[in-house]
Structure 1
Amino acid sequence: MDLGLKGRNAIICAASQGLGRACAMALAREGANVVINGRSQETLLATAADIRREAPDVTVTPVAGDVTEPAVRAALVAASPQVDILVNNNGGPPPGDFRDWDRDAWIRALDANLLTAVELIRMTVDGMGERGFGRIVNITSSAVRVPIPVIGLSNAARSALTGFVLGLVPTVSGKGVTINNLLPGPFDTNRLRQSKAITQHLTKNNVAGRVGDPEEMGAMCAFLCGRYAGYINGQNIQMDGGLYPGNF
């Protein structure tokens, strides 16, 4: 299936590893030029090299830094001749007990998982609408629908982003712009492997009998960015192996 992405320009945040990397790789394989971001320059450059090997005909531009920083966001947007696709992604805040989180912890969580995405959308969505094509995909969490007690900071921030997106969609859908959210459950990523509390909560209820492969997330992201997804807008697409039964 040709998704019509050849020559499109995409920004993928937190793309040096995990789900962001999988999305960047999938978009590049479809012919999109990618601007990728990650905190570790070494890891980011290694990912850029891997993408170039897989998709030698596309342009791969790494921009290292913390995407919560205004200068990094500006560099991401400046690195692309025009932004046709934006994939918002960022690591979640640490787990814990809400009784231990002060105001600063809440502000950091909102900055990382709500305000950064909102700002990147603000910087790119009008240009997309003027050109008549745009795809925005926010990687949030299955916890938006099934909150996980130990990650209350993430539950709150990502749910807030969902509400913002649903309010924005009617203002841009007639301009060829779609905004959708991908809600991953347990996927084989470093975050899942390194967080014992999250792993135990998710895997003990995983009806699929396995965790997800990041390539599955990448393929879904690429599809949502392609020519056949223009009528999919304002959706929360659950990818959790059937963990959440609410769609039935």
Structure 2
Amino acid sequence: MDLKIAGRKAIVCGSSRGLGRGCAEALAAEGCEVLINGIDAERLEAAAEQIRADTGATVHTVAADVTTHEGRADLLAAMPDPDILVTNAAGPPPKDFREIDNKALHTGVEQNMAAPIALIQAVIDGMIARRWGRIVNITSSSVLTGIAGLDLSSGARAGLTAFLGGVARQVAPDGVTINHILPGMFGTDRLQSLDEAAAKRQGITFEEARQQRVAAIPAGRLGDPAEFGAACAFLCSEQAAYITGRGLLLDGGALRTNF
């Protein structure tokens, strides 16, 4: 299927690896001009070279922390008029809710709620003026179901979702859509660290912790970031123009609910 977004400009945050990279690769494969981002400059450049080689797309890089004002400014200086924005940032490390102090609370909200909102505020009027825009926020399945130890990440991402609910309806008449993708368990470095922590906590091997996790997924496996990227690209397509203010759950059936 031709998603009809060739030539569109896309900023993909946190895209040197993992789910963000999956999104960047999929958009590049559709002919978008893509700006990828990460804090590790060497890894970022390696990712850009690979995406260019695989897709032939124009790929820009900005090594910056987008959860900071300076990082966001660098991103927007490199591509001030994106047609597509994919927000993404690592969540706070797992921690018992009793151990979350005021500083950690504010940091988590800044990373997973305030920073994406600031980026959206910066680009949305340009999208409205051009009568076309796609915003996709990478959140988490924990927005829908509690995951012990990820309370701060869940709360901040749920706050982002609620904040943008009214915004999505406000800008829909202008050809701009705002949606969220809620990943379950994908084969990423983030999940690697979570399973390593679970193994240590339970006194078992990493392989045993990973088997426990996979056993809870009806699909019987972890998700592939390329699958996630394909879903993101579709939400950015012309064909998805009637989808807005929604969260797409990608979890292999792990959340056992019909609605």
Could you tell me the TM-score, scaled by structure 1's length?
0.96
Within a 5 Å distance, the mapping from 1:1-248 to structure 2 comes to 1-56=1-56, 58-80=57-79, 82-196=81-195, 197=197, 202-248=213-259
Whole-angstrom CA distance in 2 between matches of 1:245 and 1:180: 22
TM superposition shift of 1:202: 4.4
Whole-angstrom CA distance in 1 between matches of 2:133 and 2:10: 10
TM superposition shift of 1:65: 1.4
TM superposition shift of 1:145: 0.3
Q: How many percent of aligned residue pairs carry the same amino acid? A: 49
* Count of aligned residue pairs for this structure pair: 247
**Equivalent position amino acid for 1:33 in 2:** E
TM superposition shift of 1:247: 3.3
**Equivalent position amino acid for 1:11 in 2:** I
- For the residue of structure 2 that corresponds to 1:179, the secondary structure is strand
Q: Does the CA-based 8 Å contact 2:80-2:123 persist in structure 1? A: no
Q: Deviations over 1:24-57 (max 9, x none)?
A: 000000000011110100110000001110122x
**Equivalent position amino acid for 1:92 in 2:** G
Higher gyration radius (CA): 2
Q: Which runs of 5+ in 2 are unaligned?
A: 199-208
Whole-angstrom CA distance in 2 between matches of 1:94 and 1:207: 26
User: Cα gap change, 1:209/1:41 in structure 2, threshold over 3 Å: closer, same or farther?
Assistant: same
Q: Deviations over 1:41-84 (max 9, x none)?
A: 0110000001110122x221100011111121112112125210
Whole-angstrom CA distance in 2 between matches of 1:48 and 1:147: 35
TM superposition shift of 1:167: 1.7
Q: Does the CA-based 8 Å contact 1:9-1:81 persist in structure 2? A: no
Q: Does the CA-based 8 Å contact 1:3-1:30 persist in structure 2? A: yes
Q: Does the CA-based 8 Å contact 1:185-1:202 persist in structure 2? A: no
Could you tell me the TM-score, scaled by structure 2's length?
0.92
- For the residue of structure 2 that corresponds to 1:195, the secondary structure is helix
- For the residue of structure 1 that corresponds to 2:245, the secondary structure is coil
Q: Which runs of 5+ in 1 are unaligned?
A: none
Q: Deviations over 1:189-232 (max 9, x none)?
A: 01101212566674342111111010000000000001100000
TM superposition shift of 1:96: 1.1
Q: Runs of 4 or more off by more than 3 Å in structure 1?
A: 197-204
